[in-house]
Structure 1
Amino acid sequence: MTCGSSKSFSNRSDGRRRVARQHPLRGIADIPPSHYTGNEATGSSQAFFLHRSDVKQYKRLDRKTDLTARKDIPPELTFLGATGTVTGSKSLLTVGDRKILIDCGLFQGFKQLRLRNWELLPVEPREIDAVLLTHAHLDHSGYIPLLVRDGFAGKVYCTPATRDLCRILLPDSGYLQEEDAAYANRHHFSKHDPALPLYTREDAERSLHSFRTVAFGKEFDLGEGLTFQFIPSGHLLGAALTRLQRNGTSLLFSGDLGRPNDLLMAPPSVIRKADYLIVESTYGDRPHDPDDPKKKLAEIINRTAARGGVVVIPAFAIGRAQTLLYAIHLLKEERAIPDLPVFLNSPMAIEATGLYYEHLGEHRLDEAQCRAMARAATLVHTVEDSKRVNALREPMVLISASGMATGGRVLHHLKTFAPDERNTILFAGYQAGGTRGAAMAAGAKTIKIHGEYIPVRAEVIALDQFSAHADADEILDWLGRFETPPRETFITHGEPSAADALRHRIEEKLHWRCRVPDYLETVHLENT
């Protein structure tokens, strides 16, 4: 079997192209600051707002024409996101009359990417039969509330841990967007009145009724002879490789691929065979620093404490915050760092930490270690407590969301501590282009937060050793365990340079047939 012809939704003769989002209750499309940094060079928090007429309009393919036309067409795979970027993961698999969406994420980072969140999909949500969700992070799950609100009536299949994490993440995402829209209205950031959120907390909570859990390893029938199976990927609690099969032919989505030596998660499962492979490439152009991440963290904390400073760590609330807590617990136990105060200031991270108790066996920690992780920091629940912590002026470690400094309580800490050269701002995860985190990591001398330009005099460090994404070498090692090459490998979820570098290495080392698909490109999967 080989991969057949490819095409793009943006230039198809049948007219199937993007359409701008229109909603009976929405007169504008506003992108809240939690997903936007405003000034790409400085990481401004100011949201931008637009009218639906500002977004290019397209015609959607007629359903009846589509189904008639594809009676003799082999299965198709369309890349609706995470091509040329790490965000917006969505892949549409069409098999006969069945349409399956693998992941349903938000675009994040640069303005031109976030605008895509406001454009309707090139397929009616009501036509999609199911969503297979690889894991809970918003760049994979955050579009689900929109999909459901716009008419999706199928089920969202995921592992139990992914569902539990989405119960935290999605309502919080809706709430933050409502708050950001309200802030924009108060301060007149929008030329339209009123500014509205992309979706609300209520939208997100309603979408959770569509979730159904499937255990790791269980084969589930989707109809049309198509089955799927979730396999541990090691990236995050509940994260899965997703394998679909039909007529003896398999299609494997890596989702986000974990690492062999992660502090919390086991290595990604070994896969021996897949006819088609879709693999991520977040770090496809570089290796992670081989130094022990705990040792590097200790050096940073000790150096900052010695000069009387504060270590502020913008951290992803789910996954990274817990890894950092456990690392700090181990360092204190080893007496590698002083017994200075540590604060976890993220309600979402606090709630997510408790889920590690509920999913023992899906990560490396036992119950006692989970307890030690949770006790490694003072938990900051209320806004009043957050303000009190922000007023402290003693050596301490502050872990707070969001991980790319696009929103959340960490913004208040950055306003307070970034101007002081005694302090350290430590980024412990991937920083997407167009975010404050990326700007600061690149050496920005000022950042814009809540309409103010804040000087950055603190030491800024990017420590990618704590990344939960496999680097280029680790991806190659994982691929090298395949017993036979896939018939076609598609490289996604990476910036153009990273995806192309990984493609080159796969071709050079493994001699596989592989390529980087274009946004909205459709490929035929022959003989399935």
Structure 2
Amino acid sequence: MKVSLQFLGAAHCVTGSKYLLTLARGRQRQQVLIDCGLFQGLKELRLRNREPLPVQPAEIDVVVLTHAHIDHCGYLPKLVRDGFQGRIFCTEPTVDLLSIMLLDSAKLQEEEAAFANAKGFSHHHPATPLYTQADVLRVLPLVESVAYDAPVSLFADALTFCFRDAGHILGSAIAELTVQGAEQRKQLVFSGDLGRYASPVLHDPTAITAADVLLVESTYGDRVTRSQDPEAELVGVVHEALARGGMLVVAAFAVGRTQTLLYYLKKLRQEGRLLLVPVYVDSPMGIRVSDLYPRHPGAHRLGHGNVFDFSGLRFVTEASESKQLNEKKGAAIIISASGMCTGGRIIHHLYHHLPRPEDTLLLIGYQAEGTRGRDLQDGATTVKMFGELVPVRCQVRHLDGFSAHADRQELLRWLGNFTVAPKCTFVVHGEPAAAQALAHTLREKSGWPNVVVPDYLETHVLFEGL
């Protein structure tokens, strides 16, 4: 058996995760796609979403998803529309999240295309979405749920996979794959996105002790983001913002970051450390995701019931109420998405609040290159939205401590669980500096052999004669 791996995304960037595993036995060939994400951020990356894959989607047998973030699952509707008819495996919470995430992604694309056509500022005539809500509905029947730690065998036992809790978002997983040849067995581990240790909401990432081949993410491979006291940092930003007499607008990912922020706001208010001002969650997807936590109590630390509710919290579902928020003045907190300020209701809030000196924008997640959030984090004085330049006069704050990604120290802690170094390690899902920094540490300080930062579309033969 010949086993090869091609990097269709998340190579020298943090989005577009797609890894094509091919098992070739004589005339037989099985192909497994681990993750199926959209490219985001820089235009040159986003354009890849519209390029044909170097493999025919109809020839892919199985998709294994580590979690439901769009950069890991958001290409699925296009894959299915282009001919994929196989099985899609993920954890049970991820099944619930997929329909929310993909339908929202399609809806945003449809709305943005319609708006661009109406305003005439698209470079494409007409502007078209990458996929539609109808395309999403063709994906969902192909999805099958798998419990954590429950092996699934494929291709007459030639391949077995198992999900382990990654602690990144609800339902996130590390994928362990075992390839069984005629005489040898090899283990491949795909880290997915690794979460943080001692999170108040999610479990620690599962320790993995052995692999022949490892793919490890490197989002924060070159920096430490663990705050000594994230609660105190949040209290400081909130008090500073409200003392200015304006609103605090928080750009938070609908999955994970919104729920973690609500946990902290609830806890701090109960302890009397925050002012009792209105808190609006203006993210329909964030609201639907929050409602999933009671359905999956084993996938997080918060237990049963309405784990996020507190006095003064209001979930905004109607678009009309969302628009009314921009007319309000005075002290309040608005939590909206997307976390990188690339789409969703946060755009309308930015349009109205960025020009107001009394208001504050808080970024609490990773901001990829080429996103509006990254521009704001880097100190942009104007940002473009709705075809016009909007001045940035408000205060912009950024807290790394609320990231859902393991930082450098936590990545090395997770990697330190391996009792023997993998024979080959691929450092993926990181911008070049971050990926190279982690790879250098593994080579020079940990003494790991054959550590590679792969290029986009690069193919590696992992095993021959298996």
TM-score, shorter chain, exceeding 0.5: yes
What does 1:88-237 align with in structure 2 at a 5 Å threshold?
Answer: 88-96=16-24, 97-190=29-122, 192-223=124-155, 225-237=158-170
Aligned residue identity for 1:233: A
Shift in Å at residue 191 of structure 1?
5.0
Is contact 2:14–2:431 with CA below 8 Å preserved after alignment? yes
Match of 2:377 in 1: 441
Is contact 1:329–1:376 with CA below 8 Å preserved after alignment? no
Does residue 474 (structure 1) correspond to residue 407 (structure 2)? The answer is: no
Is contact 2:226–2:407 with CA below 8 Å preserved after alignment? no
Match of 1:401 among 314, 337, 344: 337
Task: Give the Cα separation in 2 of the matches to 1:277 and 1:337.
Answer: 44
Aligned residue identity for 1:226: L
Match of 2:326 among 378, 390, 395: 390
Aligned with 2:236: secondary structure?
A: helix
Match of 2:346 among 410, 418, 437: 410
Shift in Å at residue 306 of structure 1?
1.3
Aligned residue identity for 1:279: V
Task: Give the Cα separation in 1 of the matches to 2:171 and 2:370.
Answer: 28
Task: Give the Cα separation in 2 of the matches to 1:463 and 1:94.
Answer: 41
Does residue 77 (structure 1) correspond to residue 20 (structure 2)? The answer is: no
Is contact 1:276–1:487 with CA below 8 Å preserved after alignment? yes
Match of 2:393 in 1: 457
What is the number of equivalent residue pairs in this alignment?
455
Q: Deviations over 1:44-78 (max 9, x none)?
A: xxxxxxxxxxxxxxxxxxxxxxxxxxxx6x20000
Aligned residue identity for 2:172: A
Shift in Å at residue 375 of structure 1?
6.3
Match of 1:37 in 2: none
Is contact 2:121–2:387 with CA below 8 Å preserved after alignment? no
Match of 1:492 among 410, 417, 428: 428
Task: Give the Cα separation in 2 of the matches to 1:350 and 1:207.
Answer: 23
Shift in Å at residue 152 of structure 1?
0.3
Match of 1:364 among 289, 296, 301: 301
Match of 1:15 in 2: none
Structure 1 pair 230–309 and aligned structure 2 pair: CA distance change class (3 A): same
Match of 1:291 in 2: 228
Does residue 258 (structure 1) correspond to residue 195 (structure 2)? The answer is: yes
Task: Give the Cα separation in 2 of the matches to 1:444 and 1:99.
Answer: 44
**Sequence identity of aligned pairs in percent?**
49
Shift in Å at residue 238 of structure 1?
0.5
Aligned residue identity for 1:89: S
Match of 2:292 among 346, 352, 355: 355
Q: Deviations over 1:155-199 (max 9, x none)?
A: 110001001001101011111111111111111123554221110
Match of 2:275 among 338, 345, 356: 338
Aligned with 1:252: secondary structure?
A: strand
Match of 1:273 among 199, 202, 210: 210
CA RMSD, Structure 1 to Structure 2 (Å): 1.2
Aligned residue identity for 1:87: T
Aligned residue identity for 2:266: H
Aligned residue identity for 2:220: Y
Task: Give the Cα separation in 1 of the matches to 2:316 and 2:204.
Answer: 32
Q: Deviations over 1:408-433 (max 9, x none)?
A: 11111111111122211100000011
Task: Give the Cα separation in 2 of the matches to 1:271 and 1:377.
Answer: 39
Is contact 1:322–1:373 with CA below 8 Å preserved after alignment? no
Aligned with 1:120: secondary structure?
A: coil
Give the structure-2-normalised TM-score: 0.96
Which aligned runs of 4 or more in structure 1 are off by greater than 4 angstroms?
A: 373-376
Match of 1:379 in 2: 315
Is contact 1:146–1:199 with CA below 8 Å preserved after alignment? yes
Aligned with 2:298: secondary structure?
A: coil
